[in-house]
Amino acid sequence: MEAKKLGLVLGISTIVAAFTMVLHLLEAPQVQHALLGEFNFIIPAMLKGASSSGKYQLGVLLPNLTSCHESMGRSDLPVYCCPPMNQSDVAFIDFQFPDPSLPLRVRRPTHLLDENYIAKYKKAITIMKSLPDTDPRSYSRQANLHCLFCTGAYYQQHSNSPLNIHRSWLFFPWHRMLIYFHERILGGLIGDDTFALPFWPWDIPEGMVIPEMYMKAPFFHEARDISHFPPSVVDLDYSCTASSSDDYGCFESGLGPEDQVYTNLVMMYNQMVAGAKKMELFMGCPYKAGEGGSCNGPGTLELAPHNTVHKWVGSNLNPGSRGRDMGVFYSAARDPIFLSAPCQYRPSLGSLDEAPWEQGYQ
Ligand SMILES: [Cu+2]
């Protein structure tokens, strides 16, 4: 009994000490934004992925870049998203944290953008779309990154396990990484190192329709559900079955605009607060490197509204390609609206009056 009590006291002390240490880490100037906050939690946990039984491979989840192969875009659809092999002799450059003295990038919600900003983004994406497929900065190659890492086109390093970045805690950091570099490429193409992507705030009433800018070139995309074009209010709890193109059916809520907005707000509260009381519930299950390290347990936000908005935007027409492009992993990033899905990079979901995005990041 005494031993049990001692164990309990030691356990609680360890948790308090670890929590205090994490708080200190998060307060350090170099980890002031959400992306690095996640790295603080997740990367060390991944590094601890090795078990004494040798079940997991020690190390971070990394792709074996020589293992790219055809993968399944859907249960009935083989896809090939691999980049050309050996296209360059230039060595990989390890990531360096940005110089803290550089200006901050500020991501803004789509309903608060001005014409100058939209013109700048338009120019950047037009240049990106004009680049040939041989250029890794081109739009098609950027879009294919989502296909590569969502369909298991790479095996992990030192393992025959495919690398998949959905349905686990890898979901947030991977998508933030994608957007982080995509944004830098866009900025580089127009010579603006403060360029920041906008986000579509579909979690607040002002943002619950497809933003106007995404209904015009170069942001418009044909493979969408036209019955969901403005002024249709997004359904954050939209559900579809999509195991194959023949088995694709979605269910409209049938609610009027006001009821839909209210239902969406309740949904957001549930996914962000009431239903996400533990880190794993919010972030997803712990996915570790190596054989036996995978898991299937998406976090609340990944399940909905992330997945549901994807499906709500994707096409419900054209037999054989239903759900495309936004509604299916392999093709989702072909639609420019993909890169404005806010849950992947909103710093927080506080009140918009407090404008959390104004803090900026580097
Ligand atoms: Cu994704």
- Taking the centre of ligand 1 as the mean of its atom positions, its distance from the CA of residue 187, in whole angstroms, is 22
CA 341 – CA 356 distance, rounded (Å)? 17
Q: Which of 39, 8, 47, 7 is nearest to 22 (CA)?
A: 39
Q: What pLDDT was estimated at residue 143?
A: 93
- Taking the centre of ligand 1 as the mean of its atom positions, its distance from the CA of residue 175, in whole angstroms, is 6
CA 239 – CA 315 distance, rounded (Å)? 13
What are the CA-CA distances from residue 337 to residues 197, 216, 314 (Å)? Answer: 11, 11, 11
Q: Is residue 200 part of a domain?
A: yes
Q: Is residue 122 part of a domain?
A: yes
Q: Which of 25, 192, 227, 203 is nearest to 116 (CA)?
A: 192
Q: Quote the pTM value.
A: 0.79
Structure token digits, residue 219: 């942001």
Q: Is residue 196 part of a domain?
A: yes
- What is the CATH classification number for the domain harbouring 305? 1.10.1280.10
C-beta of residue 65 within 8 angstroms of C-beta of residue 82: no
Q: What pLDDT was estimated at residue 88?
A: 66
Question: pLDDT in tens for each of the 362 residues of the chain?
Answer: 445 554 554 454 444 444 444 333 333 333 333 333 344 444 444 444 444 444 444 467 889 988 999 999 888 889 999 998 766 677 778 888 988 898 888 889 999 999 999 999 999 999 999 999 989 999 999 999 999 999 999 999 988 999 999 999 999 989 988 999 999 999 999 999 999 999 999 999 999 999 999 999 999 999 999 999 999 999 999 988 877 767 778 899 999 999 999 999 999 999 999 999 999 999 999 999 988 899 999 999 999 999 999 999 998 777 667 778 888 888 989 999 998 865 444 544 444 444 444 444 54
Q: What pLDDT was estimated at residue 244?
A: 72
Q: Give exposure, 222-241, as e/b (b: 16+ Cβ within 10 Å).
A: ebbbeebeeebbbbbbbebe
CA 189 – CA 345 distance, rounded (Å)? 22
Q: Is residue 174 part of a domain?
A: yes
- Taking the centre of ligand 1 as the mean of its atom positions, its distance from the CA of residue 311, in whole angstroms, is 12
Domain that includes residue 134, residue range: 63-86+98-359
Identify any residues that bridge with 71 across adjacent strands, giving them in sequence order: 79
- Taking the centre of ligand 1 as the mean of its atom positions, its distance from the CA of residue 306, in whole angstroms, is 9
Q: Is residue 186 part of a domain?
A: yes
- Taking the centre of ligand 1 as the mean of its atom positions, its distance from the CA of residue 11, in whole angstroms, is 37
Kindly state the helix (H) or strand (E) to which residue 119 belongs, with its residue range. helix 115-130
What crossing angle do the helices spanning 34-47 and 171-189 adopt, rounded to 10°?
A: 130
- Taking the centre of ligand 1 as the mean of its atom positions, its distance from the CA of residue 81, in whole angstroms, is 15
Q: For residue 145, give every residue at least 6 positions away whose Cβ sits within 8 Å of its Cβ, in sequence order, or none.
A: 178, 333
Number of domains in the chain: 1
- Taking the centre of ligand 1 as the mean of its atom positions, its distance from the CA of residue 351, in whole angstroms, is 26
- Taking the centre of ligand 1 as the mean of its atom positions, its distance from the CA of residue 14, in whole angstroms, is 35
Q: Which of 329, 335, 314 is nearest to 73 (CA)?
A: 329
- Taking the centre of ligand 1 as the mean of its atom positions, its distance from the CA of residue 301, in whole angstroms, is 12
Q: Is residue 299 part of a domain?
A: yes
- Taking the centre of ligand 1 as the mean of its atom positions, its distance from the CA of residue 360, in whole angstroms, is 23
Q: What pLDDT was estimated at residue 14?
A: 46
End-to-end CA, the chain: 52
Q: Is residue 325 part of a domain?
A: yes
Q: What pLDDT was estimated at residue 59?
A: 62
- Taking the centre of ligand 1 as the mean of its atom positions, its distance from the CA of residue 2, in whole angstroms, is 49
- Taking the centre of ligand 1 as the mean of its atom positions, its distance from the CA of residue 147, in whole angstroms, is 8
Q: Is residue 285 part of a domain?
A: yes
